[in-house]
Amino acid sequence: MSRILAFSFVLLLAAKAPGQEVSASLDRASTSVGESVTLSIICTDFSPSSQPVLPSIPGLRFASAGTSQQFQFVNGKRTSSYTFNILVTPLKPGNYTLSPIQLRHKAGLLKPKPLTLRVLPAGQQPRGGNGLSQYAYVRLLPTKTTAYVGEVIPVEIQLHYIDGVNVKMPELIADGFNVAAFLKHTQSRMQKGNQIYQVLTFRTAAVPLKAGELQLGPVKQSMVLRVRQKQNRRSPFNDPFDGFFNRYKQVPVNLEAKAQPVTVRPLPAANQPASFNGAVGRYTMQAKASPLEVTVGDPVTVSIQISGQGAIESLNLPKFDWPGFKSYEPSVTTKKDNPLGLLGTRTFEQVVIPERDTLAEVPRIEFPYFDPVAGRYRVLAKGPFPIKVNPGDKPITPAVAAGSAPETEEPEAPPQTDILTIKHHLGSLGQATPLIARPGYWLLQSIPLLLWLAALAWRRKTNALANNPRLRRKRQVAGRTRAGLAKLDALADGGEVGEFHAELADLLREQIGLQLDIPAEGITGDIVHSPAAREILDEAIRGNIRKLFTASDQASYAGSQTTGEMKAHLALLKELFRALK
């Protein structure tokens, strides 16, 4: 009994593994009769073993539009998604709820949230349907709207879009602010109504330079949206796949987020320290001096560390004007504890030189700053540091009596001659072989020429490949086919029916797309009826293509096949590839 309970617990954990989920979205929340919408069922971080189970809803017709896979790395973490694309064609007006949608995963059924679809009569367009705000928008989110002059304001800019490319960096217009460079954006997803949006978050920091009612923004951002085009379903030849490859168009857009008002208060003049130099934030300070015993003219290094929250990189020490010391410009290093640089440590290495032996201490070090949380000035202080300064050493010239010689004398150096004897023979140097007569010399001289010729050949090959997209695609498909056939052998031996036929269908789409010079996504067995296929492919090849797609679809729903059947389908696929070559 205990084993059964443990096994059930393991299955429950597997069914609810972290990060594995199913979500669904519609590319439009409203449409009209005859105008199809795309239902996307997205499996995150797992590969489904079967097709999704769709509800039977009178007035709606469902048709498969292919699958797609995507892999990406976010903050060093690998995520994947497997998407089923389904065309939903309304046959009569009304308000529909797409539920329940079910997908089997391991020991249970996963169900995404219900979706709603509004269908208007044929020819009637939804109000506001021509706008692009439903596909993408941008938001400006400052963390505070009240600040002091010099106080750091963290700012987030969030770009929400359904599908798009060529996203540009946002442009933040901020008169009266000093704005830091944007960090590398982070990516996430969110659901709003029936739609799943990609969310790019850009972070920066703004520092107000003057007091008053300022405007932070607006934000301008450009990108290219992929927007679904309206399809005409009157012809029986385009139902449901005609126009699948061009039903999306790319639309350049310029998005804008409204400016946010920010109230900037001036720093108070009352109780402002005389040595205050504009530091705003919350800080702590550590300081030390070494060595503590020196001679007049020897350097003393004063190390000062200021840590805390604020504009760390702009912190500066008050100028040291200490009597009896000569000081130099300090060396400064900064360590950031967060990407925006709002937390960290700034270290100053100040060298001072005592100029007289009467000095007994390194003076007290003060660092004033304004605390925006408390609304008042604070002064950090360390020292003074006691030191001992010894007198400087002076050379003593010994007195020598007249007519007497010193006790110790060094021997006189031998006389040096300015003229050396001319050598008439080169000796062993004259017998050396000149470089120009050595084979190794010419071999070394030929290396740059050979490297240049190799680079030239590689450049010409690269240019030829770049100018020939069909050749480039042919090589990519060949590599994908080799890897896929090896994977199919392993899947057939392991009895993985679902993955076997999903991989088989993907390889078949790639080869057919290459032969017909069309995108591979969404190709089904019906492609054999197209004019291009009839012109290029003979009847036997088209029959084998139809047979393999039919077997793949049956396996996706039935989910049970023997290893022998899978081996037979693999052999037929290899035979088909040889015929296509």
CA distance 141 to 517: 46
> 361 or 50, which is more confident?
361
Q: What pLDDT is recorded for position 429? A: 60
> Taking residues 340-369, what's their average pLDDT?
91
Q: What pLDDT is recorded for position 428? A: 62
Within a domain: 400: no
**Angle CA 565–570–574, to nearest 5:** 150
The reply to whether 476 and 509 lie within a common domain is: yes
Work out the pLDDT band at 411, boundaries 50, 70, 90: low
Helix, strand, or coil (residue 321): coil
CA distance 468 to 483: 23
For residue 150, give the nearest of 88, 205, 110 by alpha carbon: 205
The reply to whether 565 and 481 lie within a common domain is: yes
Work out the pLDDT band at 6, boundaries 50, 70, 90: very low
Q: What pLDDT is recorded for position 431? A: 61
Within a domain: 418: no
pLDDT digits (tens, 9 = 90+) for 91-115: 999 999 988 888 877 757 888 888 8
For residue 49, give the nearest of 572, 513, 498, 508 by alpha carbon: 498
CA distance 476 to 257: 42
CA distance 95 to 60: 11
Work out the pLDDT band at 290, boundaries 50, 70, 90: very high
Range of the domain at 498: 469-580
Q: How far apart are the first and last CA of the chain?
A: 59
The reply to whether 248 and 163 lie within a common domain is: yes
> Taking residues 143-161, what's their average pLDDT?
93
Mean residue pLDDT across the chain: 82
**Six-digit token pair at 261?**
């008002």
- By the 8 A CB rule, do 387 and 292 touch? yes
> Taking residues 175-197, what's their average pLDDT?
87
> 88 or 522, which is more confident?
88
pLDDT tops 70 at residue 256: yes
The reply to whether 251 and 141 lie within a common domain is: yes
pLDDT digits (tens, 9 = 90+) for 313-344: 889 888 888 888 988 889 999 998 888 878 99
> 26 or 429, which is more confident?
26
The reply to whether 89 and 172 lie within a common domain is: no
The reply to whether 260 and 164 lie within a common domain is: yes
The reply to whether 290 and 362 lie within a common domain is: yes
Q: Which CATH number characterizes residue 238's domain?
A: 2.60.40
Last residue of a domain, one of 92, 120, 148: 120
Last residue of a domain, one of 85, 120, 155: 120
**Angle CA 8–9–12, to nearest 5:** 90
The reply to whether 261 and 323 lie within a common domain is: no
The reply to whether 340 and 364 lie within a common domain is: yes
Q: How many CB atoms lie within 10 A of CB 105?
A: 21
Within a domain: 384: yes
> Taking residues 408-429, what's their average pLDDT?
58
pLDDT digits (tens, 9 = 90+) for 495-510: 888 888 888 888 888 8
- By the 8 A CB rule, do 79 and 45 touch? yes
Within a domain: 70: yes
Within a domain: 501: yes
Q: List 178's β-bridge partners, or say none.
A: 207
For residue 90, give the nearest of 50, 31, 13, 156 by alpha carbon: 31
pLDDT tops 50 at residue 560: yes
CA distance 310 to 207: 10
The reply to whether 33 and 100 lie within a common domain is: yes
Hey, CA dihedral for 322, 326, 330, 331, is it positive or negative? negative
Please give the DSSP secondary-structure letter assigned to residue 7.
Answer: H
> Taking residues 488-493, what's their average pLDDT?
86
In three-state form (DSSP H/G/I as H, E/B as E, the rest C), the secondary structure along 28-56 is CCEEECCCCEEEEEEEECCCCCCCCECCC
pLDDT tops 60 at residue 246: no
Work out the pLDDT band at 392, boundaries 50, 70, 90: confident
Q: What pLDDT is recorded for position 3? A: 52
The reply to whether 113 and 141 lie within a common domain is: no
Assessment of whether the complete model's pTM goes beyond 0.85:
no
Within a domain: 4: no
- By the 8 A CB rule, do 377 and 285 touch? no
Within a domain: 99: yes
Q: What pLDDT is recorded for position 233? A: 47
> Taking residues 197-214, what's their average pLDDT?
94
Q: How many domains does the chain have?
A: 4
> Taking residues 181-202, what's their average pLDDT?
87
Hey, CA dihedral for 73, 79, 82, 87, is it positive or negative? negative
CA distance 388 to 392: 12
> 409 or 159, which is more confident?
159
CB contact set of 248 (below 8 Å; sequence gap of 6+): 163, 226, 227, 228, 229
Q: Give me the phi and psi of 436, to 5 degrees please.
A: -65, -20
Within a domain: 407: no
The reply to whether 116 and 155 lie within a common domain is: no
